[in-house]
Structure 1
Amino acid sequence: MDTFDIEQRWPELFHNLDEQQRLGVLNTLAALWHEGFELTREDVENLTDYAAGIIDADEYRVRAHATVRAQMKLARTSA
C-alpha cells in the first residue's frame, strides 16, 4: 500500500465508530503503516470492532493471534 487510504478502502468498517474512536483507530493504523506494517482488511476490522466495543480485549487477542498464525503458515509454504 503506497498511500494511507484505509478509510477509503473499507469505509464500512468505520460506521460503528464515533468521531473520537475513528480518529483513535486511524492514528493507530497510521503509526503501524508508517512503521512498514502491511495492513489488511482483517487487521482493520479487528481494531475497529474492538474500538466500537463489538469485541472485548480477549477476542481481539484471539483474532490477532489467529492472523499471525495464518501469516506464519503462509510464509513457510511460500519459502
Structure 2
Amino acid sequence: MSERFDIEERWPELFEPLTAVQRESVVQAFADAWHEGWVPNREDVENLTDRARGAIDREEYLRRADAMTEVQRGR
C-alpha cells in the first residue's frame, strides 16, 4: 500500500468536472478502501468519477466493474 493517499493528485483530470460534493464522495469511497489495503487504478477512479457526475448510470458502472473483475481473474 502506498504511504500517502494521493488519488486526486494522480488523476486530477478525472476530478475536474466534479462538484465539491461529488469530489468528496469519490475521495471518501476510495480512502475507505485504501485504508483497508486496496490501491485503486486509473480505470477504477474513472469509473466512479463517471458515475458520480452522471456520465454513466448504475447499470453501466456495474457492467464495467464486472468486466474489470473478469480481466483481473484472467478470463
Query: Is the TM-score greater than 0.5?
Result: yes
Letter in 2 for 1:10: W
- Post-superposition Cα deviations, 1:15-53, rounded to whole Å, max 9, x if no partner, equal 111000000100000001111112100000000000000
Counterpart for residue 55 of structure 2: 54
Using the alignment, how far apart are the partners of 1:18 and 1:25 within structure 2? 11
Normalised TM-score (structure 2): 0.93
Using the alignment, how far apart are the partners of 2:16 and 2:64 within structure 1? 20
In structure 2, runs of 5+ residues without a counterpart are none
Report sequence identity in percent.
53
In structure 1, runs of 5+ residues without a counterpart are 75-79
Normalised TM-score (structure 1): 0.89
Structure with greater proportional helix content: 1
Which 4+ runs in 1 deviate beyond 6 A? none
